[in-house]
Structure 1
Amino acid sequence: MEVTKYNFPSVLENLRKEIPTCKFISLDIELSGLRTRDDCSNSLFDSVEERYNKHRKGTQGIIATQIGLSIFHFDRDLNTYASATYTFHLCPQFIGSINQTCTFEASVLTFLEKHNFDFNKFAYEGIPYLNKYEEISLTHILKNGMIENFLRYEDVERFWEIKNKVVTWMTSASDKDTLRIKENSILQLYIIDKLKSSFPILTFTTENSEIIIGKNLNINSNSQPATKHTSFNDDVLNYALGFSHVVKLLEDNKKPLVFHNAFGDIAMFYNQFIAPLPASYKSFKREVHKLFPEIYDSKYIILKLKHLIKKDSVFDNSSLQNVYTFFNEKKGKYVCMYSPRIKMKDDFDTKPWFHQAGWDSYCTGFCFIKICHWLGSDNSGSNRPLTTNEHFNAVKIHRNNVYLSRASQPHLCLNENDPANHRPPYLYMRLLKNQILDLPEIASMLSRYGSVDVRKYGKTSVLIAVTGTFTCRKIFEEFKHSKDYDVSVFNPIKHSPILRVTLWSGFFLSSISTMALIFYQLKKL
């Protein structure tokens, strides 16, 4: 289901019923960019902490434009998981002193356009949101009656124009007549609040971007409205929170959350809806785990399934589209018996496609269920329908482990210490001839042997980081007899220019001292 600010209130009521009773929730996020700083590119040299700091600094201004949410319930009798899937369209807002910003990368705009992203829906119908600090700030503004101070002059002029229009309409309107006024967002709430005070005999409803005004036939001009309306402050805060209401539901219910390639999505989710990312990586892990104690990364689990996947049935790579196709259309569809049926409760409003957040969230949940059943059947050693508890027990050792792409460590752990570095040691390459060190040329030359990163290390040498021993072995074999380059395993003591200078200096000083002592002893004779 496509969710905009117009149907969000009714969807929110459904979520308040669906989330407390579900088995798990899968999420996907579509972003306005990937990074805003060139010096924050991923590298095989990155430690987990370095990667986190790169992400924190390099994604400032980037926001989630779509959130996909799929809520899965399980019917044991039918061995069926049913998903309620939503695509939430989000848009930053300006209200009071809160002026949210966002950055779009041109390359991402091209990507979004290619995948049918609806820019009009983003701009005109996007759901607002606030993080915790923005919520506190807006609450303070509303409590102290300062919201009118932030209205623009043209907004105030617009209100008086509408009020005069209502007065004119009332003089000639019949009891069944209605007046429709087109207005949007917070100004719509402000106008309704002011008109209610001035005209208690009128009724006010909204339909998308229109205010619908009618006559209240149940009261006369001397009476008060029959029902007590919520206050303007409550209405404004409730509207401005928008998608943050959904985030609060996720926090309160602590349901298992499933992502595919989770690190960036988790960090973005926290930064946009909770608070700015903490300066400390350890604080980030602690806060995320406190809010969402059970997170699964289907990409991480897939990469741990290699021992179960036969060579003739393996998917090309672990991208979501490839994994979903493997389990839904190829040999993975029949990988084990009694795999649960997975269906959507409602069809998509439009034909689904990859990189649409709602569809991707459904595919993430679909793949997660298939993985759980595959591992559960392998663990039990029998072919039979499994319960949800058995499905989750099969992947509990992978809980809160998050895949890291192109880093010195393959994953991070949200609730424990991170694993040790399992990558091969760095390689040290030295130019043997009097050449100019050309880093891009060396990187291009080495890329034919596998995934590598190079870093300058002195005037005539580089460090090489590789993903696996196969690439490492190929580089050694290729350059074993090279007359231009010398390649060896990096030794910090042996290859450090500073340490070499220090050691030679020490040796030189020690030699001078020894010679001086000998000379002194000989002179005494």
Structure 2
Amino acid sequence: MDVDKVSFYPLLPDLLTDISQAHFVAIDLELSGVPSKGVHSVGKPSLQQRYLETKEAAERYQILQFGLTCVEQDVANQKYILKPYNFDLSPVIAERGLDIERIFSYQSGAAEFLLKVGFDMGRPFTHGVPYLSRVESREARNKHVKRQDKSSLADIQIKPTEVESLAFLDRVRSEIRGWLTSPNAEGTSYVNIAPVGAEVFKNASESPAELSRFEKRLVHQLVRAEFPDLVTVSKRGFVQIIRFDREREDQIAAGRKRDSDERINRQKGFRWVIEALLGSDLHKLDLQECAKDPLSGEQVFADMDEYRAQFHRAHALMQNNPRVLVGHNCFLDFIYIYRTFIGPLPDTVEEYQRKLHKLWPTIIDTKYMSTHNCGDINPVSSLEQIAEQMSFEKTPRTETAPEHSKYEDTESFHEAGYDSYLTAGIAVRLSSKLEKAGQYVDLDAHDTTKLDPWTLAGRNQNPDYAARDLASLTLSEPSTTSISRPATAQEGFTPSTPGLDWKRNGDPTVVGTSGPHDPNPQKLKHRYTPLPAGRVKDGMPGFKSDFWRVYGNRMRVFGTEEAVFVLEDQGYGEDGSEEEMVGGQGGVGV
């Protein structure tokens, strides 16, 4: 389903409902530029170096398209229902008066690629959904407060030689004092400060008389300094001076703040979706914005009680309950998402890891799933190739929701919505297949007769193996030589399906049963709570199973020394209520 700036708010209640009911959400991005890899004289770059390259790119380039597929687990019918959305995002600040400046750019190579695959480069500008990051929203509010504080304005210093300005100020003083001392002053509620001779040109359209911006500032400054019981109101061409009234001024200030908040919330746009995925409080969302025609954007009659009921049902499921997010080769994607919607990126990959994991406790990379224990030879593992391999799997059943049928019979590679749709299907079927196979770690690293084909693919240096499609080995059924003896209590995992034979020995990426980490999966600080709907038979492993200790919270980063980016728990509260720190400032206000 394509969503643009006109249909975004009308479709938002249904989208929030889909997110709230999702077993997990798959994502994908299309970007205006990607990292330029640095030249390293010796060896591979470290993960820190790759992070800094990507950080620099995320600070320069933009997300042009965001794909999002909500995957609902239909236990009653034993299938997964896929609901893909495709959003174009606009880098333009459409709402006026926010005083936010955003610089955006394109990388020539990325633009060439997007044009080659048929991407409409103008669409983000003409149809894109707006957005503001958390930091931009905070900046807009702070600038509004600063604009309302007239005392924060620097005074204009008038020199004795500036006789025209001094004469202007003398005239303004005289007019104000004349008004205040006039016998009719009590009955006159204001005085207007206009240019000299304004009455002569009152009806002469060819020569309108107006105060300049400089003269207006002088009037505001003079009244603020010398007449504290008066207030200035800037009008077109002149300044009106009225008596100070606390109640009226408070009402005006409240109205201006309300107007500013409404403009910020409208510009926030797609970040409402990001905050929903984060489990944030969304009560500031104005549902009146959703009561519009999705084609024309015109206001329509709507049952607001029904809107509110739908919103509160979804919100109750989402709040304080971050979604499980799935991407393919998504190390880069999440850096861009953080920079675009949260705020400035940390300087170190360790600090970024901590902040990202606090935001989304469970992230799954299907590229890592397909290349786990792949050894020194990087297998072929593109999204298209894995999707083609998994298309032969008949179970678990997946089905596209009728109102989201755009991609059911159409291939749209490199459209973010379609790629998120493929990622969702891969996550369902590959995780099920891997858990049923269950033998991906060698028990005895010295006895290659007992190794399964996935480990052999990574260890064997024979050129014949190197030339083969190693991804197909990764996704193939276990060989008859793989180990079949039951695992002991100390080395076994807790599978979703009873009876599966899992091993953990020999895999350096899997947390062992000894040491500081508690092996009990029930004690993992994964804040996501699945809906109480049971489970599809032979479907995805349950998120509380040990399967995700191996495959969850790991992102493949080929080309680096580490080759994998690992998210670990960092000791936040059991209820996950600790506020995210952004750029040294606390709070998750949306």
Q: TM-score, normalised by structure 1?
A: 0.57
| Mapped partners of 1:42, 1:237: distance in 2 | 47
Superposed CA RMSD: 3.1
Q: 1:143 to 1:3 in 2, by over 3 A?
A: farther
**Higher-RCO chain (CA-CA 8 Å, sequence separation at least 6):** 2
| Mapped partners of 2:277, 2:327: distance in 1 | 14
Contact 2:371–2:379 (8 Å) recurs in 1: no
Q: Which residue of 2 aligns with 1:429?
A: none
Name the amino acid aligned to 1:234.
Answer: D
Q: Which residue of 1 aligns with 2:397?
A: 340
Answering whether residue 263 of structure 2 is matched by residue 236 of structure 1, we say yes
Answering whether residue 557 of structure 2 is matched by residue 404 of structure 1, we say yes
| Mapped partners of 1:288, 1:118: distance in 2 | 31
Q: Deviations over 1:121-153 (max 9, x none)?
A: 211111111112111111223445669xxxxxx
| Mapped partners of 1:392, 1:111: distance in 2 | 40
Contact 2:4–2:87 (8 Å) recurs in 1: yes
Match of 1:267 among 298, 322, 335: 335
Match of 1:385 among 537, 541, 554: 537
1:290: how far off?
0.4
Q: Which residue of 2 aligns with 1:319?
A: 382
Name the amino acid aligned to 1:406.
Answer: G
* Structure 2 counterparts to residues 167-316 of structure 1, below 5 A: 231-252=258-279, 253-304=321-372
Query: Secondary structure in 2 aligned to 1:83?
Result: strand
Answering whether residue 139 of structure 2 is matched by residue 137 of structure 1, we say yes
1:287: how far off?
0.5
Unaligned runs of 5+ in 1: 148-227, 308-314, 418-525
Q: 1:254 to 1:347 in 2, by over 3 A?
A: same
Contact 1:372–1:391 (8 Å) recurs in 2: no
* Structure 2 counterparts to residues 33-72 of structure 1, below 5 A: 33-35=33-35, 39=38, 45-72=44-71
Name the amino acid aligned to 1:131.
Answer: S
Q: Which residue of 1 aligns with 2:417?
A: 358
| Mapped partners of 2:396, 2:420: distance in 1 | 20
Name the amino acid aligned to 2:396.
Answer: S
Q: 1:109 to 1:58 in 2, by over 3 A?
A: closer
| Mapped partners of 2:410, 2:257: distance in 1 | 39
Q: Deviations over 1:281-334 (max 9, x none)?
A: 221011000000000000001012769xxxxxxx98200001001111xxx425
Answering whether residue 6 of structure 2 is matched by residue 6 of structure 1, we say yes
Structure whose residues are more often helix by fraction: 1
Q: Which residue of 1 aligns with 2:76?
A: 77
Q: Which residue of 2 aligns with 1:32?
A: 32
| Mapped partners of 2:40, 2:412: distance in 1 | 28
| Mapped partners of 1:68, 1:125: distance in 2 | 15
| Mapped partners of 2:569, 2:419: distance in 1 | 29
Contact 1:300–1:401 (8 Å) recurs in 2: yes
Match of 1:121 among 114, 120, 123: 123
| Mapped partners of 1:13, 1:127: distance in 2 | 16
Q: 1:68 to 1:42 in 2, by over 3 A?
A: farther
Name the amino acid aligned to 2:384.
Answer: Q
Q: Deviations over 1:187-230 (max 9, x none)?
A: xxxxxxxxxxxxxxxxxxxxxxxxxxxxxxxxxxxxxxxxx999
Query: Secondary structure in 2 aligned to 1:119?
Result: coil
Query: Secondary structure in 2 aligned to 1:333?
Result: coil
| Mapped partners of 2:549, 2:431: distance in 1 | 10
Contact 1:30–1:357 (8 Å) recurs in 2: yes
1:376: how far off?
2.7
* Structure 2 counterparts to residues 84-123 of structure 1, below 5 A: 84-94=83-93, 95=96, 96-123=98-125
Name the amino acid aligned to 1:404.
Answer: V
| Mapped partners of 1:42, 1:371: distance in 2 | 38
| Mapped partners of 1:113, 1:42: distance in 2 | 34
Contact 1:376–1:390 (8 Å) recurs in 2: no
| Mapped partners of 1:41, 1:367: distance in 2 | 34
Contact 2:100–2:136 (8 Å) recurs in 1: yes
Name the amino acid aligned to 1:79.
Answer: Q
1:344: how far off?
3.7
Q: 1:344 to 1:43 in 2, by over 3 A?
A: farther
Query: Secondary structure in 2 aligned to 1:10?
Result: helix
1:231: how far off?
4.2
1:108: how far off?
1.4
| Mapped partners of 2:7, 2:411: distance in 1 | 20
Q: 1:237 to 1:72 in 2, by over 3 A?
A: same
| Mapped partners of 2:12, 2:101: distance in 1 | 25
Q: 1:123 to 1:248 in 2, by over 3 A?
A: same
Identity %: 25
Q: Kindly tell me the number of residue pairs found equivalent between the two proteins.
A: 323
| Mapped partners of 1:354, 1:42: distance in 2 | 35
| Mapped partners of 1:5, 1:230: distance in 2 | 24
